[in-house]
Structure 1
Amino acid sequence: MDRLVFTSNATIKEQATARQVLVNDLANVSTVGFKSSYDVALKTVKVNGPGFDSRFQAQAMVRDQIRLTPGPIMATGRPMDIALAETAVMTVQAPNGDVAFTRRGDLRVNPQGQLENGSGHLVLGNGGPIAVPPGMNVSINPDGSIYAKDPAQPATAPSVLIDQLRLRDGSDTKLGRRQDGLFKVDGQPDGTDIALGNAQPRVIPQALEGSNVSAIEAMTKLIDHSRSFETQIRIIKETKALDESGASMMKNA
């Protein structure tokens, strides 16, 4: 009986890890540029204690690797909105100063005159955080070049190049999620940059990318986990009832 209860408890514990990933994905189904994580993986752990040395048990583990599947593109018409095309990521400055990456492209100019996204992370250019001259109209080209134009000038006046978005191609790089929600190179220290490749990352101007989380799929998986949890609890209750019946039979014998 004890072995059956132990097995049910272990199942509940392992499924709790997967539920955490699902709940986080579902909570960000409407977040701009959010990327879901790959499903929970299993690793083999040696069981310590009396018995044979060949006893091993599967244990769930979360590496939180980013799934760069594109989300739906929503045209906004706003000059400072961008959607990262294909597997491109944008380099930003994390709250602790590290170099990190994101797909969130709802850009704006903060009170300090620096370009940041909707999460408040400073967008990095060729020389660090991108500064925008006050009172200028900003536009972004598909190659990531940022132009500014004085609205007081004639319409025929050319725009001035002020910086270039530091874009990286994530197709050949495994990305993980940091504690602050930004992306990093998986398996490398925080702040590690992505090596430049042959592909030229591009953006889609005046558009935003929605979350790539499927709400229906996530809800279906959560329902399956809930049913499995109820099944394991029922097994534990039935095991307890059988154990009590056996104890009562032995007592009356």
Structure 2
Amino acid sequence: MFRGLYTATSGMLAHNRKQQILTNNLANANTPGFKQDQTVLRAFPDQLIHAMESGKFASNGGRMPGSSTPIGQLNTGVYSQEGIPSFSQGPLKETGNSTDLSLMDELLPENPQSQQKGSLVFAAESDSGQIRYTKNGQFSVGEDGLLKTSDGNSVLNQNMEPIRVDSTNFTVAENGQVTLQNGGSAGGLWIGYTENPEQFVKEGHGLLRWEGTPQTAPQSIEDVPLLNNTNSFVKQGFLEQSNVDLTQTMTEMMATYRGFETNQKVLQAYDRSMEKAANEIGRV
């Protein structure tokens, strides 16, 4: 009986965790560049149940060794896998703002070996001075003339240094080269490419931290032979929207709520059975 209590409780905890992830996706449905988290429910390792049979009596009066007959498998509960961001590209929205930039993942060529397109990212300097990555191209120009993310982090150029644009009157070519109002060049934006975006970990405020090996870390597009014939990486005046599907998310939230409610009712049924066993059977 107690095994059922633990199984139902694990189901409630797993559905609660999944609901938190879905709620966060829904809350960021209008956040530019946001990538929805995906999670699945997995069962704990199965247990194989056997029926133990006593051995038969031998001719000398002793007992033969017993045997076991497999009955079936039993799951002991479920758990929710950690949310993994989906890096599919969201729809592009035209804003007309010179400081709004979107990365063109859909125009990337497929790797003939892995059959994957990979993903592009901007680089930014975090408050602690470390290199972080972002898909959110909603930038602005700070008082110091540097290009900033929406949370004030400096956007980096090809030399991994803050890029200076001085005003909003600048243009960005599709290859990431920045031209100032006076016709001068501000260099190029650092645009990174990786075939393993699932190795990114969200840090909040649209920043991503690389948790993979240094060998597979995002490389500058100039250092990736696969992209030698590609020149369209960034589009000015457009923002990549969140890739959250509102209809699908709402449907999954309803299903998750029903799953939580079902496990809750099972837990209540066990509680009533235990109460009856303690108060009524003992009385007999």
| Equivalence for 2:6 | 6
For structure 1, the residue ranges without an aligned partner over 5 or more in a row are 48-54, 151-158
Out of 221, 225, 228, which is 2:252 matched to?
Answer: 221
Verify the 8 A CA contact 1:33 1:211 in the aligned structure 2: yes
Could you list the per-position Cα deviations for residues 28-59 of structure 1 after superposition, in whole angstroms to 9, with x for gaps in the alignment? Answer: 10001111123247486799xxxxxxx98654
Contact between 1:174 and 1:186, CA under 8 Å: does it hold in 2? no
Letter in 1 for 2:145: G
Task: Give the AA of the match of 2:250.
Answer: M
Q: For this pair of structures, how many residues does the alignment match?
A: 234
Cα–Cα, structure 1 residues 41 and 95, in superposed 2: closer, same or farther, change >3 Å?
farther
Q: CA RMSD in A?
A: 2.6
After TM superposition, the runs of 4+ consecutive aligned structure 1 residues lying more than 6 A away are none
Which of residues 247, 254, 261 is equivalent to 1:230?
Answer: 261
CA deviation after TM superposition for structure 1 residue 236, in Å:
1.2
Query: One-letter code of the match for 1:177?
Result: V
TM-score by length of 1: 0.82
Q: Which residue of 2 aligns with 1:129?
A: 162
Number of the residue aligned with 2:236: 205
Q: Which amino acid aligns with 2:13?
A: K
Q: Which residue of 1 aligns with 2:69?
A: none
The letter for the 2-side match of 1:185 is W
Q: Which amino acid aligns with 1:215?
A: L
Contact 2:126 2:132 (8 Å CA) reproduced? yes
Matches of residues 183-202 of structure 1 in structure 2 within 5 Å?
183-188=208-213, 193-195=217-219, 196-197=223-224, 198-199=226-227, 200=230, 202=233
Contact 2:101-2:234 at 8 Å conserved across structures: yes
Q: Give secondary structure in 1 for the equivalent of 2:249.
A: helix
**Which residue number corresponds to residue 182 of structure 1?**
207
Larger deviation, residues 159-168 vs 192-201: 192-201
Q: Which residue of 1 is the match for residue 149 of structure 2? A: 117
- Partners of 1:43 and 1:238 in 2: CA distance: 22
Q: Measure the CA separation in 2 of the matches of 1:57 and 1:233.
A: 14
Hey, what does 1:154 align to over in structure 2?
Answer: none
Superposition pairs of residues 28-177 of structure 1, within 5 angstroms: 28-40=28-40, 42=42, 59-62=79-82, 64-86=83-105, 87-127=119-159, 128-133=161-166, 135=167, 137-150=169-182, 159-177=183-201
**Partners of 2:84 and 2:15 in 1: CA distance:** 18
Structure 2 portions without partners, runs of 5+: 48-74, 106-118
Greater C-alpha radius of gyration: 2
Residues 143-179 of structure 1: per-residue CA shift (max 9 Å, x gap):
11111114xxxxxxxx211121100123344332233
Query: Which of 164-173 and 111-120 deviates more?
Result: 164-173
Conservation of the 8 A alpha-carbon contact between 2:141 and 2:168: no
Change (3 A) 1:79 1:170: same
Q: Secondary structure at the match of 1:231?
A: helix
Distance 2:147 2:185 in 1: 14
The one-letter amino acid paired with 2:99 is: M
Distance 2:142 2:264 in 1: 52
What is the aligned-residue identity percentage?
24
